[in-house]
Amino acid sequence: MSLIEVSHLYKKFQIAKRQEGLWGALRSLVHRDYLTKTAVRDVSFAVNRGEMVGYVGPNGAGKSTTIKMLTGILVPTSGEIRVNGLIPYQERQKNARQIGVVFGQRTQLWWDLPVIESFLLLKQVFRVPDHRYDHNMAVFSDILGLDEFLNTPVRQLSLGQRMRADIAASLLHDPLILFLDEPTIGLDVLAKERMRQFITEINRERGVTVILTTHDMSDIEKLCRRMILIDNGQVMYDGELALIKELFGKERVLIVDLEGKTGSFSIAGAHLIKEEGNRKWLRFSREVTTASQLINRIAEKYEIKDLTIKDTEIEVMIRHIYEKGIASYESNPLPDNQ
Amino acid sequence: MVKSLIRGIVMYLYMVDASIRAQLQYRYAFVMNILGWAMTYAGTAVTMWVLLFSFGALDGWVFWELIFLFALAVLSWGVCMIFFFHFRSLDQYIVNGTFDRFLVRPVHPFFHFMAMKFDVGALGQFLFSIAAVGLAYSNLNLHWTWQWAVFLGAVIGGSLIQGGLLVAISAVAFWTTRSERLYWVIMWPLKNLMNYPLSIYPRLVQLLVVFILPFAFVNYLPALILLEKTGRIFAPFWGALSPLVGGIFFWLCFRFWLLGLDRYKSTGS
């Protein structure tokens, strides 16, 4: 049996429709129309013990909502969740003992107290035995360098220090599963690297199952073998990261700003994926054409004002998979050529 | 059962200890807060003195009786503040999304939230009210025996009634994400209303604070027994019911809070 099992999970929210203008605002005091927004739609997956899974998607895709249901904060509208056999929203407190949670942007530590005090309080809250606490503190201090700020109040920590303290705090009670919601958001390159190393180590040495959400693709690349892609509340892809990388790695996007009237724009060897006035986004594959060939071809027909080349962004990959499905991509990796 | 209760208390004490130390971090604010409150209440007492200086008595209540009435309310408010004042900031936690942390810990969220702050700012309330009750006691030549039990009951019942209302108001934030305004619209006027004898107010108001939001049990009704005043509307023994009324009212408010928590768990905002 898998450690985490999610099947046909739905979460719907009722959102009050905003009425226009003053009259509308007054009317909404008495009567409101509601829209139903489906944040998570028929999501199913299973995670085995010791896995490290990236839960990826653009903002508002339903990542956090899923995490909140797995941790027992939110009750699903329908569907089933089992976390190590427990139903999180029914046995929330029991479930809390076996999971660790880090919300990247919000600390779980006591704001006005020195870091060490928060740890001691959490030791009480989770009833961590003395020897486990001592052992864990020794290990975490060593890897995360907690000693330099253990006696500093949380409010005076830098973001990087605070994240280190937060992740250590979430692991004090030896959880089976660690949920990380945007663990590297806002961190500088060094701090990110340090955080990733620690996560890798926790996963490898202690066998902690890690589920992390992020919209930083490099987090996933460094950490996870498996990725679950989600958009509009639906699972778009669930599988090896390597496969995705292979598919999209050879692709890049050329953004050109053109001068004058462009009319209907098309270029052989590249696929127009977006346009805003005279700015065009062209996706092209290294296997079909090189960047310089492409630029030459454009320059023959149009006057180029400016250009940039970008690796395919996660949003673009998701969009593509969302529109056409991963299967269509595998069978026809060449850009459309009208 | 007993074991888990003891564990709960031990944990509460740990968090209280931490909370007090957190508040002591800001020493200047800490002292000013206490002095500020004590002086605010003393100011109200002076207003009463000025009022009575011209009128002699207010509906049969002389100055020291009024002070007693007022100080009794402040005393139970002080006790209530220590335990429940933190609920006023619940809406901030919900708006910031920091409330979630209480749901990923193996402790009841109500208890956990309550233990987050043990508001020692209430020392200001104690400073004023204990002095004022003491002065009133000697100036009115009171000699209590069994009345001490009623007095204690009034303090406990009064803190539960006021704490209950704080809890209930905070719970509104589970639906609306904001509840601070309600505090000023409901709690504040009610508290001010109770600074004076209930008998001076219209009948409708009296019924409201006896049967719906039972603030009459915080100070007016107990004061009738304690000062041996014959209430014209309510028999004096009503005042002895404070702890019972407080217990029931608090329980209802607590249930309302849990209802709000359920709502939060289904909407998450």
Give per-residue pLDDT as tens, B30-55: 899 889 888 989 998 898 888 888 87
Cβ-contact B104, A71 below 8 angstroms:
yes
Distance CA B65, CA B57 (A): 10
Nearest residue, CB atoms, A74 vs list B25, B26, B265: B265
Chain A contacts of B104, Cβ < 8 Å?
A: 71-73, 96, 99, 101, 108
Residue B36 makes CB contacts below 8 A (sequence gap 6+) with B124
Burial class (CB in 10 A: 0-12, 13-18, 19+), A154: buried
pLDDT in tens, A202-240: 999 999 999 999 877 778 888 888 999 888 899 988 988
Cβ-contact B109, B69 below 8 angstroms:
no
The reported pLDDT for the residue numbered B129 is: 94
Nearest residue, CB atoms, B268 vs list A74, A94, A105: A74
pLDDT in tens, A259-274: 877 777 777 888 888 8
The reported pLDDT for the residue numbered B2 is: 83
For the cut 80, the answer to whether the pLDDT of residue B133 exceeds it is yes
Q: Do A117 and B18 touch (CB under 8 A)?
A: yes
Question: Which one of B4, B12, B98, B100 makes the best mutation probe of the A interface by having the most chain A beta carbons within 10 Å?
Answer: B100
Q: Do B268 and A72 touch (CB under 8 A)?
A: no
Nearest residue, CB atoms, B96 vs list A14, A92, A106: A106
pLDDT in tens, B74-108: 999 999 999 999 999 999 999 888 899 999 999 99
- Complete edge-to-edge strand list for the sheet that includes strand A279-285: A270-276, A279-285, A251-259, A303-311
For the cut 70, the answer to whether the pLDDT of residue A317 exceeds it is no
Q: Do B105 and A125 touch (CB under 8 A)?
A: yes
Split at pLDDT 50, 70, 90, the class of B233 is confident
- Buried (b) or exposed (e) across B235-258, using 16+ Cβ within 10 A? ebebbbbbbebbebbbeebbebbe
Match 């104690």 to its residue by tokens: B126
Q: What are the tokens at B238?
A: 């009503």
